[in-house]
């Protein structure tokens, strides 16, 4: 990746871009163990890093002749963005460690875990760039939608201490949502409109002003 920001967790300096290279599942325990101060530091770094990633995303989008003006943060812009992105998604083979973990769970779960290959690191980075853009489309087009840190009394909440979007009846984790759409694309499900369709679904979940 071209740039990175840093935050400190348990005395160790860590790069914000870890979240762009990994799933929240892989960082789940790290988020759970964060203090409020660490979560705020990560959150601030995430927002700054996200702005940098948006610039790089738009630059990459134009490399093959697409127009930067197409990415104007309108809902309609999600169609050309996803048409461009889904052609660049790739998967990778499972690692030995991942296979060992899969073999340790009940057989019924193994089938689900083996059904699809995981996204490559480069594809995870692209998906997280798009997730940030997807979030910005909501923020720029709907008053009341904003980033916040997920704080909840639920123990081991899946989004605890992570940057999420508020302003909906249920808070949104855009990274999870876009990863699902990406996985479906790799399974030949969904088309160029998939990201726009996801937007329309969540638009209906906006809180009323």
- 156 domain-assigned: yes
Instruction: Assess if residue 70 is contained within a domain.
Output: yes
Asked if residue 140 is part of any domain, the answer here is yes
- What is the reported pLDDT for 76? 97
Give the pLDDT score at 2: 41
What are the E-state strand segments in the chain?
A: 6-9, 12-15, 146-149, 163-166
Q: Distance (Å, rounded) from C-alpha 124 to C-alpha 113?
A: 18
Q: Count CB atoms within 10 A of the CB of residue 69.
A: 9
In a domain, 194, yes or no: yes
SS3 state of residue 150: coil
For residue 79, being part of any structural domain is answered with: yes
184 exposed, middle or buried (CB, 10 Å; 0-12, 13-18, 19+)?
middle
- Tally of domains in the chain: 1
Residue 115 within a domain = yes
Q: Which residues constitute the domain of residue 112?
A: 6-88+96-203
1 lies in a domain?
no
155 inside domain = yes
Q: Write down the pTM of the prediction.
A: 0.85
- pLDDT score, position 86: 94
Nearest CA-CA partner of 195 in 89, 40, 64, 66: 89
Tens digit of pLDDT at every position of the chain (209 positions): 343 444 444 444 556 666 666 655 567 788 888 899 989 998 998 999 999 999 999 999 999 888 889 999 999 999 999 999 999 999 888 777 777 777 777 777 777 666 777 888 889 999 999 999 999 999 999 999 999 999 988 888 889 999 999 999 999 999 989 999 998 998 888 899 999 999 999 999 999 86
């Amino acid at each position: 990746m071209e740039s990175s920001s840093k935050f400190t967790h348990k005395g160790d300096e860590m790069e914000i871009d870890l979240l762009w290279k990994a799933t929240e599942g892989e960082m789940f325990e790290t988020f759970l163990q964060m203090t409020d101060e660490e979560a705020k530091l990560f959150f601030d770094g995430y927002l700054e890093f996200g702005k940098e990633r948006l610039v790089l995303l738009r630059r990459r989008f134009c490399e093959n002749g697409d127009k930067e003006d197409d990415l104007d943060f309108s809902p309609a812009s999600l169609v050309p963005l996803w048409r461009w992105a889904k052609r660049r998604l790739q998967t990778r083979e499972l690692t030995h460690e991942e296979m060992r973990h899969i073999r340790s769970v009940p057989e019924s779960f193994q089938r689900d875990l083996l059904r699809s290959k995981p996204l490559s690191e480069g594809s995870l980075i692209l998906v997280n760039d798009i997730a940030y853009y997807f979030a910005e489309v909501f923020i720029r087009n709907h008053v009341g939608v904003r980033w916040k840190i997920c704080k909840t009394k639920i123990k081991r909440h899946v989004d605890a201490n992570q940057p999420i979007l508020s302003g909906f009846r249920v808070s949104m984790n855009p990274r999870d949502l876009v990863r699902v759409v990406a996985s479906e694309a790799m399974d030949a499900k969904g088309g160029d409109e998939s990201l726009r369709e996801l937007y329309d679904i969540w638009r209906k979940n906006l809180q009323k002003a």
